[in-house]
Structure 1
């Protein structure tokens, strides 16, 4: 208990009462002493170790580059293909492990329904990785 001795000044005391702080710290100490032993795991598990020699990142699969012209003509890796040939190629590449990424480069005047049909064909064949190629924005 803090008491003021002497003096007629009835102003506030400038000393900090640390008793509540000590009480809170002791309660926290007791809580942590009780809960710390509960944090250890009683079940031991033999975890697998990673083998850096067999990473999938080392296998580089070239992407499928599909160019779509405004008239709807398709070029797979710079070779003209028909719609049926493209679907057959999607079916073959969807079975590969790891699966190559399909990168679509469509002209900005190409109708979206053509691109939508290509994406649908790729999805139906089992292709998972589909990306769109763009050009950089002009700087200025």
Structure 2
């Protein structure tokens, strides 16, 4: 901080040296310019698309597989594959059977809001063990079409 003594009016006059402050601001600007492009843009998500012709039914073998984990208060959750009840112990065998002859190995997992995410993660692990390549999570916004 530079100070000049004296002035035309006879009193002390103080001038603040702003050069260090401008140097700090320029350094911060450069830091932010370097950091911003490095931040991740997000995750690519697979979202089930509505069929082009809703009147035309897809063959049973080509249906999109949705594994639903249903909350049951005070008990272990129930599991469904396309609205068909499946026991947790049979989930791996059933998914392996479904994806044995499929070229496209895509599955979606839908869980109730009250569930602990550990149950959803368990289904994802089972799907990976059944050689499912892509697993998507169905959220309320996705189901509403937003």
TM-score, scaled relative to structure 2? 0.48
Question: Which one has the bigger strand percentage?
Answer: 2
Larger Rg: 1
